[in-house]
Protein backbone atom coordinates (compact mmCIF):
# COMPACT_ATOMS: atom_id res chain seq x y z
CA UNK A 1 0.00 0.00 0.00
CA UNK A 2 2.76 2.44 0.98
CA UNK A 3 4.75 1.46 -2.08
CA UNK A 4 1.74 2.14 -4.32
CA UNK A 5 1.20 5.59 -2.80
CA UNK A 6 4.88 6.43 -3.21
CA UNK A 7 4.79 5.35 -6.86
CA UNK A 8 1.63 7.41 -7.47
CA UNK A 9 3.20 10.52 -5.90
CA UNK A 10 6.38 10.00 -7.90
CA UNK A 11 4.41 9.72 -11.14
CA UNK A 12 2.42 12.83 -10.23
CA UNK A 13 5.62 14.82 -9.64
CA UNK A 14 7.03 13.60 -12.94
CA UNK A 15 3.89 14.66 -14.80
CA UNK A 16 3.99 18.12 -13.17
CA UNK A 17 7.66 18.45 -14.08
CA UNK A 18 7.02 17.46 -17.70
CA UNK A 19 4.13 19.94 -17.90
CA UNK A 20 6.40 22.73 -16.67
CA UNK A 21 9.05 21.77 -19.23
CA UNK A 22 6.43 21.75 -21.98
CA UNK A 23 5.01 25.13 -20.93
CA UNK A 24 8.50 26.68 -20.89
CA UNK A 25 9.13 25.23 -24.33
CA UNK A 26 5.88 26.72 -25.62
CA UNK A 27 6.75 30.12 -24.14
CA UNK A 28 10.25 30.04 -25.63
CA UNK A 29 8.86 29.01 -29.01
CA UNK A 30 6.33 31.85 -28.95
CA UNK A 31 9.07 34.32 -27.98
CA UNK A 32 11.24 33.24 -30.92
CA UNK A 33 8.29 33.49 -33.32
CA UNK A 34 7.46 36.98 -32.06
CA UNK A 35 11.08 38.12 -32.34
CA UNK A 36 11.18 36.93 -35.95
CA UNK A 37 7.88 38.70 -36.63
CA UNK A 38 9.20 41.93 -35.08
CA UNK A 39 12.38 41.76 -37.17
CA UNK A 40 10.27 41.22 -40.29
CA UNK A 41 8.09 44.23 -39.43
CA UNK A 42 11.16 46.45 -39.07
CA UNK A 43 12.74 45.06 -42.22
CA UNK A 44 9.68 45.54 -44.43
CA UNK A 45 8.07 48.57 -42.76
CA UNK A 46 4.97 46.48 -42.09
CA UNK A 47 3.15 48.98 -39.87
CA UNK A 48 0.13 51.20 -40.37
CA UNK A 49 0.71 54.84 -39.42
CA UNK A 50 -2.29 56.97 -38.47
CA UNK A 51 -2.50 60.58 -37.34
CA UNK A 52 -4.92 61.97 -34.76
CA UNK A 53 -5.47 65.74 -34.60
CA UNK A 54 -4.86 67.81 -31.47
CA UNK A 55 -7.10 70.88 -31.42
CA UNK A 56 -7.03 74.14 -29.48
CA UNK A 57 -10.45 73.83 -27.84
CA UNK A 58 -10.55 77.55 -27.10
CA UNK A 59 -10.13 78.62 -30.77
CA UNK A 60 -11.11 75.43 -32.69
CA UNK A 61 -7.78 75.48 -34.58
CA UNK A 62 -5.78 72.32 -35.22
CA UNK A 63 -2.49 72.60 -33.33
CA UNK A 64 -0.85 69.37 -34.41
CA UNK A 65 -1.10 65.60 -34.75
CA UNK A 66 -0.05 62.54 -32.82
CA UNK A 67 1.56 59.85 -34.97
CA UNK A 68 0.45 56.34 -34.02
CA UNK A 69 2.11 53.26 -35.50
CA UNK A 70 0.14 50.03 -35.35
CA UNK A 71 1.17 46.52 -36.39
CA UNK A 72 -0.85 44.98 -39.19
CA UNK A 73 -3.00 41.94 -38.43
CA UNK A 74 -0.97 39.15 -36.85
CA UNK A 75 -1.95 36.03 -34.92
CA UNK A 76 1.19 36.49 -32.83
CA UNK A 77 0.06 39.92 -31.56
CA UNK A 78 -3.75 39.94 -31.09
CA UNK A 79 -3.76 43.55 -29.81
CA UNK A 80 -1.60 46.64 -30.24
CA UNK A 81 -1.04 46.81 -26.46
CA UNK A 82 0.32 43.25 -26.44
CA UNK A 83 2.62 44.11 -29.32
CA UNK A 84 4.13 47.16 -27.61
CA UNK A 85 4.40 45.36 -24.26
CA UNK A 86 6.45 42.68 -26.01
CA UNK A 87 8.67 45.19 -27.84
CA UNK A 88 9.49 46.93 -24.56
CA UNK A 89 10.85 43.67 -23.12
CA UNK A 90 13.24 42.94 -25.99
CA UNK A 91 16.69 44.22 -26.91
CA UNK A 92 15.18 45.42 -30.20
CA UNK A 93 13.39 48.31 -28.49
CA UNK A 94 15.97 50.92 -29.60
CA UNK A 95 16.01 49.70 -33.19
CA UNK A 96 12.22 49.57 -33.26
CA UNK A 97 11.80 53.07 -31.81
CA UNK A 98 14.14 54.54 -34.43
CA UNK A 99 12.24 52.65 -37.12
CA UNK A 100 8.89 54.06 -35.89
CA UNK A 101 10.27 57.57 -35.57
CA UNK A 102 11.57 57.54 -39.16
CA UNK A 103 8.32 56.01 -40.39
CA UNK A 104 6.25 58.70 -38.65
CA UNK A 105 8.27 61.61 -40.03
CA UNK A 106 8.34 60.29 -43.59
CA UNK A 107 4.67 59.34 -43.73
CA UNK A 108 3.59 62.62 -42.15
CA UNK A 109 5.48 64.55 -44.78
CA UNK A 110 4.10 62.38 -47.59
CA UNK A 111 0.49 62.72 -46.49
CA UNK A 112 0.39 66.34 -45.44
CA UNK A 113 1.89 67.45 -48.77
CA UNK A 114 0.93 71.09 -49.47
CA UNK A 115 -2.80 70.81 -48.85
CA UNK A 116 -2.74 73.11 -45.80
CA UNK A 117 -0.83 75.95 -47.48
CA UNK A 118 2.44 74.93 -45.78
CA UNK A 119 0.97 75.46 -42.31
CA UNK A 120 3.50 74.38 -39.67
CA UNK A 121 1.75 71.78 -37.52
CA UNK A 122 3.37 70.15 -34.50
CA UNK A 123 4.00 66.40 -34.67
CA UNK A 124 3.86 64.35 -31.45
CA UNK A 125 6.06 61.23 -31.53
CA UNK A 126 5.60 58.50 -28.90
CA UNK A 127 8.95 57.45 -27.53
CA UNK A 128 10.39 55.23 -24.82
CA UNK A 129 12.28 57.49 -22.35
CA UNK A 130 15.36 55.29 -22.37
CA UNK A 131 15.69 55.60 -26.15
CA UNK A 132 16.59 59.25 -25.62
CA UNK A 133 19.67 57.99 -23.78
CA UNK A 134 20.79 56.03 -26.83
CA UNK A 135 24.08 57.32 -28.25
CA UNK A 136 22.60 57.64 -31.75
CA UNK A 137 20.16 60.22 -30.41
CA UNK A 138 22.95 62.09 -28.70
CA UNK A 139 24.96 62.13 -31.90
CA UNK A 140 22.15 63.93 -33.73
CA UNK A 141 20.61 61.13 -35.80
CA UNK A 142 17.13 62.63 -35.42
CA UNK A 143 18.33 66.13 -36.29
CA UNK A 144 20.00 64.82 -39.44
CA UNK A 145 16.78 63.13 -40.56
CA UNK A 146 14.73 66.28 -39.90
CA UNK A 147 17.20 68.35 -41.92
CA UNK A 148 16.80 65.94 -44.84
CA UNK A 149 13.00 66.20 -44.60
CA UNK A 150 13.04 69.97 -44.00
CA UNK A 151 11.20 69.62 -40.67
CA UNK A 152 12.11 71.99 -37.84
CA UNK A 153 12.79 70.48 -34.37
CA UNK A 154 10.50 73.21 -33.01
CA UNK A 155 7.64 71.31 -34.66
CA UNK A 156 8.49 67.99 -33.00
CA UNK A 157 7.34 66.88 -29.55
CA UNK A 158 8.73 63.75 -27.89
CA UNK A 159 5.82 62.16 -26.04
CA UNK A 160 6.92 60.05 -23.05
CA UNK A 161 4.53 57.44 -21.73
CA UNK A 162 3.60 56.55 -18.16
CA UNK A 163 4.24 52.85 -18.93
CA UNK A 164 7.94 53.50 -19.31
CA UNK A 165 8.57 55.29 -16.04
CA UNK A 166 11.73 57.29 -15.42
CA UNK A 167 13.85 56.25 -12.43
CA UNK A 168 16.86 58.62 -12.48
CA UNK A 169 15.17 62.02 -12.80
CA UNK A 170 18.34 64.06 -12.39
CA UNK A 171 20.10 62.30 -15.27
CA UNK A 172 17.02 62.32 -17.46
CA UNK A 173 16.45 66.03 -16.87
CA UNK A 174 19.99 66.62 -18.15
CA UNK A 175 19.22 64.56 -21.26
CA UNK A 176 15.98 66.45 -21.91
CA UNK A 177 17.82 69.77 -21.67
CA UNK A 178 20.10 68.49 -24.44
CA UNK A 179 17.10 68.05 -26.74
CA UNK A 180 15.41 71.26 -25.67
CA UNK A 181 18.55 73.15 -26.64
CA UNK A 182 18.10 71.73 -30.14
CA UNK A 183 14.51 72.97 -30.28
CA UNK A 184 12.53 69.83 -29.41
CA UNK A 185 9.73 69.93 -26.87
CA UNK A 186 8.60 67.30 -24.36
CA UNK A 187 5.16 65.92 -23.50
CA UNK A 188 4.24 63.46 -20.76
CA UNK A 189 1.43 61.07 -21.61
CA UNK A 190 -1.27 59.64 -19.31
CA UNK A 191 -0.80 62.21 -16.54
CA UNK A 192 -3.08 61.42 -13.63
CA UNK A 193 -3.06 57.67 -14.22
CA UNK A 194 -0.41 56.98 -11.59
CA UNK A 195 2.23 58.34 -9.24
CA UNK A 196 5.07 58.24 -11.76
CA UNK A 197 3.34 60.55 -14.23
CA UNK A 198 2.72 63.16 -11.52
CA UNK A 199 6.33 62.87 -10.37
CA UNK A 200 7.48 63.35 -13.98
CA UNK A 201 5.29 66.46 -14.23
CA UNK A 202 7.08 67.97 -11.22
CA UNK A 203 10.68 67.00 -12.02
CA UNK A 204 10.88 67.02 -15.83
CA UNK A 205 9.02 70.32 -16.43
CA UNK A 206 7.46 69.26 -19.76
CA UNK A 207 6.11 71.75 -22.27
CA UNK A 208 2.93 69.64 -22.57
CA UNK A 209 1.05 67.20 -20.36
CA UNK A 210 -1.62 64.88 -21.70
CA UNK A 211 -4.26 64.13 -19.09
CA UNK A 212 -5.30 60.49 -19.01
CA UNK A 213 -8.61 59.66 -20.67
CA UNK A 214 -9.98 58.05 -17.50
CA UNK A 215 -10.06 61.50 -15.91
CA UNK A 216 -11.63 63.15 -18.97
CA UNK A 217 -14.49 60.72 -19.59
CA UNK A 218 -17.68 62.24 -18.11
CA UNK A 219 -15.64 64.93 -16.35
CA UNK A 220 -18.67 67.20 -16.61
CA UNK A 221 -20.45 65.03 -14.01
CA UNK A 222 -17.65 63.30 -12.04
CA UNK A 223 -16.55 65.61 -9.22
CA UNK A 224 -13.34 63.75 -8.19
CA UNK A 225 -12.10 63.95 -11.79
CA UNK A 226 -12.91 67.66 -11.87
CA UNK A 227 -10.87 68.25 -8.71
CA UNK A 228 -7.83 66.29 -9.94
CA UNK A 229 -7.82 67.93 -13.38
CA UNK A 230 -8.19 71.38 -11.80
CA UNK A 231 -5.19 70.70 -9.55
CA UNK A 232 -3.09 69.58 -12.53
CA UNK A 233 -4.22 72.63 -14.50
CA UNK A 234 -3.30 75.04 -11.69
CA UNK A 235 0.16 73.49 -11.34
CA UNK A 236 0.69 73.53 -15.12
CA UNK A 237 -0.31 77.19 -15.36
CA UNK A 238 2.31 78.16 -12.78
CA UNK A 239 5.05 76.23 -14.62
CA UNK A 240 4.10 77.37 -18.14
CA UNK A 241 3.01 73.88 -19.22
CA UNK A 242 0.18 73.45 -21.73
CA UNK A 243 -2.47 70.79 -21.12
CA UNK A 244 -3.93 68.36 -23.66
CA UNK A 245 -7.06 66.48 -22.58
CA UNK A 246 -7.13 62.99 -24.10
CA UNK A 247 -10.06 60.72 -24.90
CA UNK A 248 -12.69 63.42 -25.45
CA UNK A 249 -15.88 61.82 -26.77
CA UNK A 250 -18.69 64.19 -25.78
CA UNK A 251 -19.51 67.86 -26.29
CA UNK A 252 -20.32 68.18 -22.57
CA UNK A 253 -16.73 67.23 -21.74
CA UNK A 254 -15.42 69.88 -24.13
CA UNK A 255 -17.65 72.55 -22.61
CA UNK A 256 -16.43 71.78 -19.09
CA UNK A 257 -12.78 71.75 -20.19
CA UNK A 258 -13.23 75.07 -22.00
CA UNK A 259 -14.75 76.57 -18.86
CA UNK A 260 -11.78 75.70 -16.63
CA UNK A 261 -9.25 76.90 -19.21
CA UNK A 262 -7.80 73.69 -20.69
CA UNK A 263 -5.79 74.52 -23.82
CA UNK A 264 -5.98 71.53 -26.15
CA UNK A 265 -8.06 68.43 -26.72
CA UNK A 266 -7.74 65.09 -28.48
CA UNK A 267 -10.33 62.37 -28.97
CA UNK A 268 -13.01 60.87 -31.19
CA UNK A 269 -15.31 63.88 -30.69
CA UNK A 270 -12.64 66.09 -32.28
CA UNK A 271 -11.03 63.79 -34.84
CA UNK A 272 -10.38 60.07 -35.19
CA UNK A 273 -6.98 58.59 -36.05
CA UNK A 274 -6.68 58.33 -39.84
CA UNK A 275 -4.05 57.22 -42.32
CA UNK A 276 -4.58 60.61 -43.98
CA UNK A 277 -3.71 63.86 -42.21
CA UNK A 278 -7.06 65.53 -41.49
CA UNK A 279 -7.83 68.64 -39.48
CA UNK A 280 -9.80 68.24 -36.28
CA UNK A 281 -12.83 70.30 -35.36
CA UNK A 282 -15.08 70.78 -32.35
CA UNK A 283 -18.58 69.28 -32.71
CA UNK A 284 -21.45 71.71 -33.12
- What is the rounded CA–CA span in Å between residue 103 and residue 97? 10
CB 51 within 8 A of CB 68: yes
> Is 70 exceeded by the pLDDT of residue 153?
yes
> Is 90 exceeded by the pLDDT of residue 193?
no
The CA dihedral of 12, 15, 16, 21, to the nearest 10 degrees, is: 160
Residue 276 lies in a domain: no
- What is the rounded CA–CA span in Å between residue 8 and residue 15? 11
> Is 60 exceeded by the pLDDT of residue 73?
yes
Output the pLDDT for position 116: 75
189 and 113, same domain (yes or no): yes
Residue spans of beta strands (DSSP E) within 85-200: 122-127, 156-160, 185-191
125 and 11, same domain (yes or no): no
Strand partners, 243: 209
Any idea what the Cα angle at residue 208 is, between residues 229 and 150, rounded to 5°? 155
pLDDT in tens, 222-246: 999 999 999 999 989 898 999 999 9
CA-to-CA separations, 18 to 14, 21, 218, in angstroms, rounded: 6, 5, 51
pLDDT class of 163 with cuts at 50, 70, 90: low
pLDDT in tens, 195-210: 566 777 777 889 999 9
- Lowest-pLDDT range of 3-17, 19-33, 35-49, 126-140: 3-17
Range(s) of the domain holding residue 198 = 46-265
15 and 90, same domain (yes or no): no
pLDDT in tens, 23-44: 666 677 888 899 999 999 999 9
Output the pLDDT for position 219: 97
- Total domains in the fold of the chain: 2
What CATH number is given to the structural domain containing 198? 3.20.20.450
User: Beta strand 185-191 with 61-71: parallel, antiparallel or unpaired?
Assistant: unpaired
Residue 279 lies in a domain: no
Amino acid sequence: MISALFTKEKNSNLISYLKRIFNHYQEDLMYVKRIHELEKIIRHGDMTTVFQPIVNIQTNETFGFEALNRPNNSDLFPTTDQFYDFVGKTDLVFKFERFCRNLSFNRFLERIDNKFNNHQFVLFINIHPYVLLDKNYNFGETRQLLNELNISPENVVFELTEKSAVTDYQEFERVLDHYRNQGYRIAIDDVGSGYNSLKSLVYLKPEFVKIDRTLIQHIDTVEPSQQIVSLIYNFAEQSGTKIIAEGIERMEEIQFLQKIGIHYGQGYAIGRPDIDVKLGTLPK
